[in-house]
Amino acid sequence: MAEIGGMIFFFLVLLVGIVVIPFGIAGTFIIVADALVFGLITHFQKISLGFVGILLLIAIAIELVEYVLTAVMTKRYGSSTWGVWGSIIGGFFGALWGTPVLPPLGVLLGAFVGAFLGAYLFEYFKFQDFTRALRAGWGAFVGAVGGKMLKIIVAIAMVVIIIAKTI
């Protein structure tokens, strides 16, 4: 009976790892930690330490890709380096600001709006061009949303692979 309860808890934590991502929490690391605990408890019979290491590398990579995608899309929409830095700084501070203001979605909305405003403001102050700044802000917003969606897709793939290895 304890084994069934443990498996249910294991699968629920995997699900939580996916669900928390839109709220700005690094759910991929929760998924990795859950796989590690499962491996430890089962003496790495179904999930090896090497597999957990690969999951960790994937989690680190997708965190980086999320930020890089925001920067790339900001640049792709015509921004200068100023706008790119503005999108990164704005996304970070927007998430911090949004967290207490509008829980639980404040961190996500704050990051999206912050990326837009950061890119817009940095670009506008540098070039005094409303259209250019607006395009940069839009690129930052598109990149931030795309990065978050990609992270959710990767987290789902991680969970599917883990489940396939454990059942």
Query: What mean pLDDT is reported for the chain?
Result: 93
Provide the pLDDT for residue 15.
97
| Mean pLDDT value of segment 40-57 | 97
Distance CA 120, CA 79 (A): 9
Q: Evaluate if residue 90 carries a pLDDT over 80.
A: yes
Provide the pLDDT for residue 43.
96
Q: State which residues form the domain around 97.
A: 2-166
How would residue 145 be classed by pLDDT, with cut points 50, 70 and 90? Answer: very high
List pLDDT tens digits, range 91-129: 989 988 888 877 777 888 899 999 999 999 999 999 999
Which 3 state secondary structure label does DSSP give 36? helix
| Mean pLDDT value of segment 1-22 | 92
Residue 101 CB neighbours (<10 A)? 11
Report which of 19, 17, 63, 37 is spatially closest to residue 158, judged by C-alpha positions.
17
pTM listed for this prediction: 0.86
Say if residue 104 is preceded by a cis peptide, omega within 30 of 0: yes
Provide the pLDDT for residue 102.
77
Number of domains the chain is built from:
1
Q: Where are the beta strands (DSSP E) in 33-167?
A: none
DSSP label at residue 129: -
